[in-house]
Amino acid sequence: MVNHPDAGEAEMTYDAAGNLLTKLTAEQRKSISAEGYISYTYDFERLHEVLYPENLFNRVTYTYGKAGDKHNRAGRFALVEDASGDEAYYWLSRKKVGDLWFSGKQVGILSVHPLNAWTLFGQL
């Protein structure tokens, strides 16, 4: 349990590998219930899904590339989907992401360096 002076108490549970499984904030407890926690699921230690309470449309899923996938996607995230649409990632090399697509439209190029990350809009 974490007690933050501004946000109140947050309860979290973890699996044996240290992955976050559930999170219940003071605001969720007050507005929804003690059962209104955010849940996280994993596939081989990689985040697979985030489920938010009350509105299942706020679900976020992560898809990772399989061995032999094009665009150097093997073992890396390839698709992130939520209620606003989906983001597809096309990797150029081991350290850089190429085109970033959102709901079927190219929205930018993301470049990642070990010390810096850049997007079409500037440094992260």
Residue 108 half-sphere exposure toward CB, CA atoms < 13 A: 8
55's tokens: 């509105």
Q: 99: which residues sit within 8 A by CB, 6+ positions away?
A: 90, 106, 108, 109
Q: What is the mean pLDDT of residues 72-78?
A: 83
> Looking at the predicted structure, is the pLDDT value of residue 121 above 60?
no
pTM greater than the 0.85 cutoff: no
pLDDT band at 3 (very low <50, low <70, confident <90, very high): low
For the chain, what percent of residues have pLDDT higher than 90?
23
Which pLDDT score is estimated for 57? 78
Query: In 7-115, where does DSSP find H-type helix?
Result: 26-31
Model confidence pLDDT, tens digit, residues 10-59: 889 999 999 999 999 888 887 777 677 889 999 888 999 999 887 777 89
